Amino acid sequence: MFTLIVPNSINMRLDKYLSENLDHFSRSKIQHLINDGKVTINGEKEKSSYRLNGNESIVVYVDTDDKSTNNHVAQEIPLTIIHEDDDILLIDKQAGLVVHPGKGMNDNTLLNGLMYYTSSLSDINGPSRLGIVHRLDKDTSGIMVIAKTNSAHKYIAEQFEKRNVKKTYVSLTWGIWELSEGNIDRPIRRKRSDPTVFTVDTMGRSAFTSYKVENSWRYISKVQFKPKTGRTHQIRVHSSFMGHPIISDKKYGGGENRVKGFLPEVSKELNSILKIFNRQALHAYSIEFIHPKTKDNVKYISPLPNDFSDAINILNEKYG
């Protein structure tokens, strides 16, 4: 048996939600569990078509010998530990590392590395999300908080739902921003023509990001982002919407095509920056929340990785 706490403002069918969050189960397995009464919502059995509204508690009852509930293996994956105590673990996730197993990715994820590092991980969200309270995109680096106990998981997850967790990201974006700081309040939804891409849409879910330009070098700016909401690809979508896609973010217009049109010598210089990054230039710099046990306000920082430092050094040399 395990429990899933449905995020606030969710509007989704039960079977679809479970399919997206229980990737270790097939769709048919999920349907069987619901039909057999092994899934309850706030203690009540519901149909597959039941529509979730947010904040529900879903309990999934499975046999302890069901191999599909424990098919992930511990793997020795390098982890950079920022902080650890009995309740939480703060890690500096490297770019290129997927957070947890999903479709087409069964191992070599952060989850596999966490399972190798410690046996103390919350299991409130099932075996494919052990310890995972929140996520970062595969190619976004930086700070993540991991829950070692279910009580810590619930306490921190509640802060995320109430939007009390303060997150700061640092990015290199294309262009010079018109305003040195401001807010981007634009709803986001999945693009119908490509479900892997998100876009600003009035019919989407609310999304709010504040930004502050820290430095500019003629063609590129270093920007600090503070998302209030936590939509998928939110910073990448909002930055692109403002006309300043993130460096090397091909999905949202920040890749090599952005260099076309410049003079050859300028294109060469800008391409040298692009080559430093084999991922979008976005880094989760800090996270601040109330500690689940001490109840102190805590803040943890992940220093900028080498690709950022190398790019910034080049920009300072060329453009001051």
Tens-digit pLDDT profile for residues 79-124: 999 999 999 999 999 999 999 887 777 789 999 999 999 999 998 8
pLDDT at 54: 78
Give the DSSP letter of residue 7. Answer: P
Going by C-alpha positions, the residue among 140, 143, 122 that lies closest to residue 132 is: 122
Active site residue 66: no
Q: How far is CA 105 from the centre of its chain?
A: 16
Q: Which two tokens stand for residue 189?
A: 């939804």
For residues 52 and 33, give the distance between their C-alpha atoms in angstroms, rounded to a whole number: 17
Residue 61 confidence (pLDDT) above 90: no
Q: What is the mean pLDDT of residues 194-210?
A: 93
Residue 295 burial by Cβ neighbours in a 10 Å radius (0-12, 13-18, 19+):
exposed
pLDDT mean over 306-311? 97
pTM of the model: 0.82
pLDDT per residue over 217-237, tens digit each?
Answer: 999 999 999 999 989 999 999
Catalytic pick among 23, 92, 137, 139: 137
Kindly report, residue by residue over 137-193, the tens digit of the pLDDT. 999 999 999 999 999 999 999 899 889 999 999 999 999 999 999 999 999 999 989
Please report the domains of the chain, with CATH numbers, ordered by start residue: 2-66 (3.10.290.10), 81-162 (3.30.2350.10), 168-283+309-319 (3.30.2350.10)
Tell me the two tokens of residue 165: 């967790």
